[in-house]
Amino acid sequence: MHYSIVIIIITQLLFTGSDLLVRYNMPNYGFKIPAFFSTSFAIYFIVRNIAMFEQLYIFTTIELGKTMALFGAVSIILSNLLGFLILKRSFTIGDCVIVLLL
C-alpha cells in the first residue's frame, strides 16, 4: 500500500506539472494548430500518457473507492501547494481551513 501511495503522488505531480507547462506555453501560440505541433505540447502529451498508465496501474491494484479518495486528496493538496509556490497565489485563512478539512 505504501508503494501505491508514492505512485499516486508521482502520478498527480505529473498531471499537475504538465498542466502548468501548458499553462505557461499555450498563450505563446494561442489555441491554434501550431500550438499542437510545438515541443511543449509534445512533452505535455507524453507526460500525460505516462501519468495515465500509472493511474491505470493504481486502478488495478487498489479498490476504486480508496483510489478515488487518494487521488482527490493528493490533487487538492498539490494544486493548492503549487498554486502558492509557483503561481504566487495568496490564500486566506478560510481557504487554508477548507483545504485542511478536505
Please state, for a pLDDT cut of 90, what percent of the chain lies above it.
14
Query: What predicted TM-score, i.e. pTM, was given to this entire model?
Result: 0.76
Predicted confidence band of residue 67 (pLDDT cuts 50, 70, 90) = confident
Does the structure show a pLDDT above 80 at 11? yes
DSSP 2-70: HHHHHHHHHHHHHHHHHHHHHHHHHHHH-SSGGGGGSHHHHHHHHHHHHHHHHHHHHHHHS-HHHHHHH
| pLDDT confidence of residue 99 | 67
Between 54 and 85, name the one with better pLDDT. Answer: 54
